[in-house]
Chains A and B, each alone.
Chain A
Amino acid sequence: MRTYLLQSITVIVAGIFLYRLLDLQVLNTNYQTLSENNAVLEIAEYPERGFIYDRNGTLLVANQPAYDVMIIPENVSPFDTLSFCQLTGISKKQLIKNLRKARRYSKRLPSVVVNQISKETYARLQEQMWKFEGFFIQKKSLREYRTQHGANVLGYVSEVNNNDMRKDPYYRLGEIIGRQGVEKSYETALRGSKGKKFLQKDRFNRIMGTYKEGSYDVPPVPAQDIQLTIDAALQAYGENLMQNKRGGIVAIEPATGEVLALVNAPSYDPSILVGRKRSANYRKLANDSLAKPLFDRGLLAQYPPGSPFKTLNALIALQEKVITPKTKYRCNKGHYYARGAFMECHCKRGTKNDLTKAIYRSCNTYFSNTYREIIDKFDTPEEGVDQWKEHLKSFGLGNYLGYDLSIGRPGHVPGAAYYNRAYQKGQWKAPTIISNAIGQGELLTTPIQLANFTAAIANRGYYYTPHFVKKIGKDTVANQLERKTTSIDPEHFDVVIDGMHKVVEKGTARIARIRGIEVCGKTGTAENFTRIDGKITQLTDHSIFVAFAPKENPQIAIAVFIENGYWGARWAAPIASLMIENYLTGDTRRPSLEQRMLNGSLEEEYLKPISGQPFVINE
């Protein structure tokens, strides 16, 4: 027995060892992961975010380098917080808060602890990095704006929040995502796709080189540059003209649907939303509930279109053959459209207008009659209104236009269903809804819808969906767009265009005349209301102007909308005219008008409703 003791023990021990090894190495896969966490660092490689150019190739948005201090909470061992805070300039309180946040997010995945340290801090910290186990520095790039304009089109980027990460697992804490504007709409093209790089670490957390010669690395997919349809010079000019006013300008190239300018006033310099002051600045913008610089009026403001809408009613009437260009109506400073219901007009008593005259004189009477003819052409007003609505839909009204920015409003075109709800079925007729004739009432449009239907008129019956991006990388967007034809036959447009031309030549918008350029336009005013102390109060009308030029082979269609600017020719028409001239000639020959518009301010008007004093409107 004694002779076999050691032999037996040896065999037993060998068996135990083999079992233990089998368990450690093969059955239990924990150690593999532990080993990788221990010795392999996975870092993301970000492609540089794509540049943004204007339609002429001017660089608007580029990148600048920045450095983030990152941690992987699992790997952090106790470190000298005091020296860390001194090196990075972060407060201890903030550090603790950030560490807790990182731990809550994930123990395994890297999070940002200190955001955007300077190059100098980076250099100093890099030398001391070995002291801070679990920390590393990641280079990233920030947006650098080469323009002070077009913030609403460009949008901005910011760090992803929990919501973004939930929605798209691509994103990790500390990464950036496009918000608003083309940064948001073209996020995937602009960001490219991050790659992965695996590095071998030693026990001091120092990087020793690539892991397995980079055989597991995934190279990043480069981002694509974007060329906007925006003309940077025109955009800047528009923003300058809109100083001290509120409102929006939308300019479209009719032949392509390319948006040349989308001005929002007031605006802000996009570079204030970059870097460490980002959140403070953003809060300031977001909290400005009066001027609302983040509210993109060109896309979001919905108002009754007013007189410009008459051109559409004229076209529908011609298409429905309820009038001809020669049809005349008599106006007596207005007319009774129903018993006891009088609609005023600024035509002189006894004026007889044909269609052209009715347009350039903006005759309410003429369009009331025309509108009633359209509705009454059908057996029931329901059919009439719905037919009318169908025509308007073909101009892109009453629904989202489908352009390539993420924000918008559908506007509103009332139909039979709407009126059956509002009144009772059979309880309404053409006179009930007569305000539609002159673009008032329940109609709502956004400035970009105005610009779009103006472009459709300029094109004599078709449009391309407005869009803000011309090229993504090397792909041209325009080739993929489909021409949308309106329900109006092309031959009906000339007489309406002629009327619009005369609006500028001898009608309500003579101020918009440009020598040598045939401008077609239509002024408008939109009544608007606000609630002051719970009481609905009328404010000064919005000043509206739509136009395109030149009359033949139009290059630009534009809608200008000035909040509380009173009548159309007061602010909107001259601004539109200056924009057109600037775009077509690159210059202005009317310096005094330009100065008046540049320096004109409506701030007093905007103070009225918040002054708490009684005030007079439309003065």
Chain B
Amino acid sequence: MNSNFRLDWLSLLLYLCLVTIGLVNIYSATYDEAATSFIALRSPMGKQVFFLFLSLGAIAFILAAPFKFFERFSSLIYLVVIILLIGLFPFGSTISGARSWYSFGVMNLQPAELAKMAVALAVAKLLSEIQVDIRRFKSLLQVGGVILLPAFLIVLQPDPGSALVFGAFLFVLFREGLSTPIMLTIAGLVVLFILTLVAPLPFVYVSILFVVISLYFFSKRVNDKTPLLAYILSVLISIGYVYSVDYIFNEIFEQRHRDRFNIVLGKEVDTQGIGYNLNQSKIAIGSGGWEGKGFLQGTQTKGGFVPEQHTDYIFSTIGEEWGFVGSAAVVLLFTLLILRILGRAELQKNKFSRIYAYGVASIFFVHFVVNIGMSIGLVPTIGIPLPLVSYGGSSLLAFSLLLGIYLNLDGNRLNETSF
């Protein structure tokens, strides 16, 4: 460790808070009155504690790593992760329909989680190189390729939820100068993609028309000179895109892919199509009141009404047992963490460090918005975990590494000149 190392204590503290909240609520959500020992290694709680120690060890190790280590090895890390992702196809094991895991006895490792970190490193590396300019088409293709390759491999597993998270890098690209129309186009395509999968087609078509017509009249008002033809074209392209996504999903995908999408989109347990899990999650959170029902006192949690409550719906346990106070605290902790990292990112003199930190914040942001948003019914159901809080060893480890590298880079902020 260099002499000028300044640890971002606030982020580390926020990290520890979130992890603790996670453990308490995983314990509650998986609590079984009949179980004898407090924490068995085979129980979800036991595994989570094991991974926490592993993560803390990894963070310590990363902090001890020399400055520039990650910048230098980012390409290698990216390569390893890509190999791991490809290796899943012959060697991975399938859990609930997706071939996303390497199985080590009791423990499972999910490379897709590590891919977020690897892509963050690779994007930072690429964009920080002098000859790369995101405003140039060639560079855009390069960066796009770096992001989309793992995303594509992950979609094939198929794990569309995890793949979607790579959309977070749009924020990074935008920050680094991606032009607004391209940004809007890509964001529009991502939104349309999700919409096509969760909403009925006619609704999607009508929405497209509505948005484009609104835009057209708005542009007239502000004397924008975009020709009408552009709007008509964008409508046609959008409809064609939606149609092909729908076609690919229904005709080209195999049933197992569709099943997996349906799991991620929460349609699996909701056979009657009435938003069962969302409804149960809302009931659980809504019944919490100001202060919640108390630790291990949640009736919805105890009754197991909310599916996947220790993983994707962990926030409903927090909402029920800790009430508004608890859930607001979690929202604020995340907001603080994201803002903190973004703030620190802008202070970096090293472009690599800044872009990487920005990537970290973006990934946290997407998880935060999608997960909590779906738990309280503001975002369509997409099964991705709440970082550091949800049950899941790979996820905890990956987010710890992600944050750990940020802490390393940020801590060495002042060493830039000495290099």
Contacts and interface: CB of A to CB of B under 8 A. Distances in A.
Are A and B bound to each other?
A: yes
A20 B372 CA distance: 11
B171 A6 contact: yes
Contacts of A553: none
A39 B300 contact: yes
B331 A203 contact: no
What is the interface of chain A mostly: helix, strand, loop, or mixed?
A: helix
Given A35-B283, A202-B302, A6 B362 contact: yes
Contacts of B217: none
B33 to A, nearest CB: 8
A208 B303 contact: yes
A280 interface: no
Interface stretch (A26-34, A379-387, A499-507): A26-34
Interface residues of A, number: 37
Nearest to A203: B305
A38 B319 contact: no
Nearest to A33: B287
B339 interface: yes
B302 A10 contact: no
Contacts of A11: 335, 339
B331 A17 contact: yes
B171 A3 contact: no
Contacts of B304: 202-203
Contacts of B373: 13, 17
Interface stretch (B238-246, B320-328, B390-398): B320-328
Nearest to B336: A14
Interface in B254-313: 280, 282-290, 297, 299-300, 302-305
A201 B285 CA distance: 18
Max count, chain B CB within 10 A of own CB: residue among A2, A10, A26, A28:
A10
B286 A36 contact: no
Contacts of A3: 175, 346
B213 interface: no
A32 B286 contact: yes
Contact of A21 (B283, B303, B339, B376): B376
Interface in A208-263: 208-209, 211-212
A21 B174 contact: no
B378 interface: yes
Interface in A276-313: none
B401 interface: no
Contact of A14 (B297, B302, B332): B332
Contacts of B323: 25
Nearest to A17: B331
Contacts of A25: 285-286, 288-290, 319, 323-324, 327
B177 interface: yes
B285 A31 contact: yes
Nearest to B342: A7
Contact of A24 (B171, B285, B332, B339): B285
Interface string B171-184: 10011010000000
Contacts of B177: 2
A7 B175 contact: no
Contacts of B175: 2-3, 5-6
A40 B346 contact: no
A35 B378 contact: no
A17 B372 CA distance: 8
B21 interface: no
Given A2-B174, A6-B365, A39-B305, A21 B319 contact: yes
A11 B323 CA distance: 21
Contacts of A39: 299-300, 302-303, 305
B369 interface: yes
A208 B377 CA distance: 28
B361 interface: yes
Interface of B: 33, 171, 174-175, 177, 280, 282-290, 297, 299-300, 302-305, 319-320, 323-324, 327-328, 331-332, 334-335, 338-339, 342-343, 346, 358, 361-362, 365, 368-369, 372-373, 376-378
28 contacts: A2-B177, A5-B175, A6-B175, A6-B342, A7-B343, A10-B335, A10-B338, A14-B334, A18-B331, A20-B376, A20-B378, A21-B331, A24-B282, A25-B285, A25-B289, A25-B290, A25-B327, A31-B285, A31-B286, A36-B287, A38-B299, A38-B300, A39-B300, A39-B302, A39-B305, A202-B302, A202-B305, A208-B302
